[in-house]
Structure 1
Amino acid sequence: MRLLGVGMCAAALLVGSVAAPAQADTGAPTSAGPGLQGLGWSVKATDKDSRFRGLAAVDRSTAWVAGSKGVVLRTVDGGRNWRDVSPPGAVAEGLELRDIEAFDARRAVALSIGEGEASRVLRTEDGGATWTEAFRNPDPRAFYDCLTFFDSRHGLAMSDPVDGKFRILATEDGGRNWRVLPDAGMPAALPGEAGFAASGQCLVSAGPRDVWLATGGGPTARVLHSADRGRTWRAADATVPAGDPARGVFALAFRDRTTGLAVGGDYRTGQASPQAAARSTDGGRGWRGAATPPPGYRSGATWYPYGRSTALAVGPTGTDVTTDAGRTWRALDTGSFDTVDCAPDGGCWAAGEKGRVARLERH
């Protein structure tokens, strides 16, 4: 979204009360509070000052982060060491990398955002030793926000509306080649409606064909769903407040093709964000607000793989956890993060401002 643009653009263990504040980036664990039985964020030093809004959790040992100034880092030892695998061209141009999807420790696809040619897709097959530019946006009206993959071959990227409709980019060969999909099956965008490039989670998928797109900035926040890999879409109103360019749904997380979470609010510092979370049990056709939502704006969300009703949400003012599939949320940590992701083996990672990256650990 242009507003965020370049400047902003198991389950039994996760119960408890408000946590103590996160510690500085010393590598020491943050306190999760006694009710969490020792689970909490362990901050991993990266020696970078980039803001990492792109995050891909491969497993407990392996994760990728992408952020401002064209920086990409990768760890294969649980965050003890980070290798700078930044694409040289992205660093030279200071690209804003806001999303990264990784298939393993060697293969990853990253998205840079911005108007026109600033929106690009980069890919690596050798752990970041070399990168190939797979797509450079030729349309000055387009502004790409997020990407997602159904599997190692099929993926989509989304742009803010062009000619009144969200634009969808598709690949069928792991990100090597991309094409713009026809927009006949895309509903018209609302006035002022766009996506938020805040966490790489404004476009998410579950299973081989289902994908969801989050919006804000318009009179109503919406979630658009496609069951055919982006060819046709259906829009549904979300309960997260909108009506302002800074408000809406910032992130989605779907456990499967029916059960999903939406988080967001108003990203401006000091602004209230009531009803900052919603849940769906019918694939995104209907949304209900959380009975006890997070206390403020949240930009990222993910399901915890060891509990079917457990999920995490993060934002600049903290991390919250739900153990009842989004009905109620409670504080886990007060440290700042922009995005969060859990791997199938239970490896959960979070990333954000000033090079801040952490892994969820028991201490």
Structure 2
Amino acid sequence: MRSLGKTRRTLTVGLCAIAVAAATAAPAHAEQAATAADRPAAAGTPGWSLKDTGTDVRLRGLAPVSRKTAWVAGSKGTVLRTTDGGRNWLDVSPPGADALEFRDVEAFDGRRAVVLAIGEGEASRVLRTEDGGASWTESFRNTDARAFYDCITFFDSRHGLAMSDPVDGKYRILSTGDGGRSWKVLPDAGMPPALPGEAGFAASGQCLVSSGRKDVWLATGGGATARVLHSADRGLNWTVAESTIPAGDPARGVFALAFRDRTHGLAVGGDYRADQASPRAAAVTGDGGRSWGQAQTPPPAYRSGVAWLPHSRSAALAVGPTGTDLTTDGGRSWRSFDTGSFDTVDCTPDFGCWASGEKGRVARLEF
């Protein structure tokens, strides 16, 4: 307990340092900040420490297990695993998967993980390993040309869901009760109709997220409004609420969600096109997603990943192609503290916060 308390105090001091630095940073320092983003944080300075993965593929899938162990997945059927805090990465990609686009990975420990490949028809697949990636078993292959799977989430080591863009006007949900060894399509009677043009974004593995034993949320975009769907019974029945994040275009909407419990959640997104502005790129809920409020000071640009910091009721990180932002007031205001590009972010209870993205970039938050 003494060690955990010391770590918590270090985290608190570090968050305060980030918040102060972000609030006082001058635009003239942008070039210097960009350079700093590509090297490890100096002693005593909170920031991302880049880890050499040995690959240049885009890694949109991320599943940290601890400060030492993490899985990443991405383009060209790539899956990597580290067990020493990112000093060394083992290529554990499934054989013959070069044509697959892995966009989500969920890991239970250093040996058991499930990866989701996205795409139309048979391009959407789920694979599972129980031996650290030494061997893989394909447990699901989509045979419906109308389906396109985007994200996967687990409530525990046995129960999980995967979601597809709408089929026949409703989102399609897959369910597993054996840790991803087998999957079945859930009935859609309790799923609200999708809006015209509405879909999920396979950008960070966070368009479908869970908290606790039964609660799960689904993020949407592309329709007239960006919405968040919620189920309290593991995907059988859903309610829907509009977010404040702009939509009305196939490139706009909610890209990522994070819930620290069944009531307090964050949403980030915007317009992923680099030449388009993304106002109101973050929203917050305190009632389980029944209603969403706009962030008073949102991130300055499109964000595709978001995560609560461990053991905190108010601090979270958001990442995107143009940088990382921090909130210390539960999502009401955000301040940038790094300009490096990342697609997704996640944290573990032992204060292991990781991010991954384009050109093989993986980093861990250091203090």
Q: Is the 8 A contact 1:22 1:333 kept in 2?
A: no
Paired residue secondary structure (1:220):
coil
Unaligned 5+ segments in structure 2 are: 1-10, 26-32
Q: C-alpha displacement at 1:16, in angstroms? A: 2.1
Aligned: 1:250 with 2:259: no
Query: For the residues of structure 2 that align with 1:274 and 1:167, how far apart are their CA atoms?
Result: 30
Unaligned 5+ segments in structure 1 are: 1-9
Corresponding residue for residue 16 of structure 1? 20
Q: What TM-score results when the alignment is normalised by the length of structure 1?
A: 0.93
- Deviation readout 1:311-336 (Å, 9 max, x if unpaired): 00000000000000000000120000
Corresponding residue for residue 216 of structure 2? 211
- Deviation readout 1:155-181 (Å, 9 max, x if unpaired): 000000000000000000000000000
Q: What TM-score results when the alignment is normalised by the length of structure 2?
A: 0.92
Corresponding residue for residue 120 of structure 2? 115
Query: For the residues of structure 1 that align with 2:36 and 2:70, how far apart are their CA atoms?
Result: 21
Query: For the residues of structure 2 that align with 1:245 and 1:334, how far apart are their CA atoms?
Result: 26
Q: C-alpha displacement at 1:308, in angstroms? A: 1.3
Alignment counterpart, residue 360 of structure 2, candidates 352, 355, 361: 355
- Deviation readout 1:238-264 (Å, 9 max, x if unpaired): 000000000000000000000000000
Aligned: 1:280 with 2:285: yes
Q: Is the 8 A contact 2:41 2:366 kept in 1?
A: no
Instruction: Answer 1 or 2: which has greater helix percent.
Output: 2
Larger RCO: 1 or 2 (CA < 8 Å, sep 6+): 1
Q: Is the 8 A contact 1:309 1:324 kept in 2?
A: yes
User: Paired residues, what number?
Assistant: 345
Cα RMSD (Å): 1.3
Query: For the residues of structure 2 that align with 1:279 and 1:315, how far apart are their CA atoms?
Result: 18
Q: Is the 8 A contact 1:155 1:172 kept in 2?
A: yes
Paired residue secondary structure (2:218):
strand
Aligned: 1:271 with 2:284: no
Query: For the residues of structure 2 that align with 1:336 and 1:356, how far apart are their CA atoms?
Result: 8
Q: Is the 8 A contact 1:11 1:308 kept in 2?
A: no
Amino acid at match of 2:308: W
- Deviation readout 1:263-301 (Å, 9 max, x if unpaired): 000000121000000000000000000000000000000
Q: Is the 8 A contact 1:143 1:160 kept in 2?
A: yes
Corresponding residue for residue 81 of structure 1? 88
Distance 1:288 1:11, change over 3 A: farther
Alignment counterpart, residue 234 of structure 1, candidates 233, 239, 242: 239
Paired residue secondary structure (1:17):
helix
Aligned: 1:67 with 2:67: no
Query: For the residues of structure 2 that align with 1:31 and 1:235, how far apart are their CA atoms?
Result: 45
Corresponding residue for residue 311 of structure 2? 306
Paired residue secondary structure (1:321):
strand
State, as a whole percentage, how many aligned pairs show the same letter: 75
Q: Which aligned pairs between 1:95-114 and structure 2 lie closer than 5 A?
A: 95-114=100-119
- Deviation readout 1:103-146 (Å, 9 max, x if unpaired): 00000000000000000000000000000000000100000000
Corresponding residue for residue 6 of structure 1? none
Q: C-alpha displacement at 1:90, in angstroms? A: 1.1
Q: Is the 8 A contact 2:37 2:338 kept in 1?
A: no
Paired residue secondary structure (1:264):
strand
